[in-house]
Amino acid sequence: MSSTPQPPLILVIDDDDAIRATLLDMLELNGYRTASATNGRDGLALAQREMPSLIVSDIAMPGMTGFELLRALRAHPALRSIPVIVVSAKVERAATREGMELGADDFITKPFTEDEVIHSIRTRLEKKELLDELDAFAHTVAHDLKNPLATLTGRLDLLDLTIGKADEQALRHNVREASVAAHRLTRIIEDLLVLAGVRRQEAAPVALEMPALVAEARDRLEDLLRRTGAAVAVAPELPAAYGYAPWVVHVWSNYLSNAAKYAGPAPRISVGGELRPDGQRVRFWVRDGGPGLDAAAQAALFVPFTRISTVRATGHGLGLSIVRRIVEKLGGEVGVDSAPGQGACFWFELPARPPAPKGPALPPPPLFLP
């Protein structure tokens, strides 16, 4: 079974068939998943069932208007944070103000262009992602850091109390547990710093010497690989790809460390890569012969950082969320192929060619819709 992240789901609610079809076409051509409803009541029910990433809604609709829909969404605990873009022929300032007061995130009037709609959607999704990320960051600091910190301080207190009283074996046990907690704290802090850097930094992709990056990741994990008895076999040749070396080393480190820790005793790990059939991307992988992952476990992998507070696969959580962020920012994709009892193959894809230079974009023609 293969698991890959899905693009955002956009819900379009409009009773005009032509406008609804136009918006759906625009969204699908730009890589979004879509769902649609012809009135506010059905749209609300669909939103509760599908939990879309964003809603695009008309105002004047039968049964439940767009304004009534906004009130219902903002009153619903699970739906209130979903961005809503209102698309309407109404251009009166009062209508715009009412929509914004009810919680609309943007107001687009007809006729509209594809560029106008897509830009608004991307902006709202980026804003929501940032706000959700701040919440998830706070959760990570409050919970993930708190537990190992409590262990560390507790073991140090025990050491202070038992020095000169406890035997050497007990003292060594407390030191060992304190060291494990300290290393866990370090890893979490390093992951958070990488995540912050990925968000802030714009990295120009360059040709990567992938064997050297795999070697660097193995060097970083030398103690872990030795402690777990993991054997890593790297393919004689790894194809070149384009990306940013420090981030890609982090991806390799995460995949290799997960395989070493969760693939059973003395795991046998293989590393490889190949050009995809379309010639546009290169897929790299880390394969292990461990217990494998069922569908439920796979669904909890590679979740956006915004969801790690509610969905977390044992041991993976934050690390794979950062891997996804890195690879997607480099223009690639991540995933896992696995089944219970058949091991797991974690993979990521990067562009096989340098990005095309950006030229001046011509403004799209307006879509004169009724």
pLDDT for res 94: 72
The Cα 77–Cα 146 span in angstroms is 27
Q: What is the pLDDT of residue 15?
A: 92
CATH architecture of 206-351: 2-Layer Sandwich (3.30)
Tell me which fold the domain 2-130 belongs to: Rossmann fold (3.40.50)
Query: Helices 317-329 and 245-262, interaxial angle, to 10°?
Result: 150
What is the domain partition of the chain in residue ranges? 2-130, 145-200, 206-351
272: helix, coil or strand? strand
How far is it, in rounded angstroms, from Cα 96 to Cα 14? 17
Can you tell me the distance from the alpha carbon of 328 to that of 5, in angstroms, rounded to the nearest whole number? 10
Amino acid at 28: E
Pairing, β 54-57 against β 84-88: parallel
Give the C-alpha separation, 69 to 39, whole Å: 9
Residue 207: other Cβ atoms inside 10 A: 12
Do residues 266 and 231 touch, judged by C-beta distance below 8 A?
Answer: yes
pLDDT averaged over 10-residue windows placed end to end, the chain, 370 residues: 71 93 94 94 94 92 89 90 86 72 85 91 86 66 72 86 82 85 77 69 86 93 90 94 92 92 90 94 94 81 55 52 86 90 93 72 44
Which tokens sit at 332? 């690639």
Give the burial class of 154: count Cβ atoms within 10 A of its Cβ; 0-12 exposed, 13-18 middle, 19 or more buried. Answer: middle
Q: At what angle do helices 66-75 and 40-50 cross, to 10 degrees?
A: 30
Judge if the upstream peptide bond of residue 111 is cis by omega within 30 degrees of 0: yes
DSSP 3-state assignment of 301? Answer: coil
Around Cβ 33, how many Cβ atoms within 10 Å?
15
| Bridge partners, 174 (sequence order) | none
**Contact (Cβ atoms closer than 8 angstroms) between residue 274 and residue 241:** no
Q: What does DSSP assign to residue 306? A: G
CA 4 to chain centre: 11
Q: Rounded to an integer, what is the distance from CA 230 to the centroid of its chain? A: 28
pTM beyond cutoff 0.95: no
Query: Rounded to an integer, what distance in angstroms lies between the CA atom of residue 56 and that of residue 76?
Result: 17
Q: Which of 209, 274, 205 is nearest to 235 (CA)?
A: 274
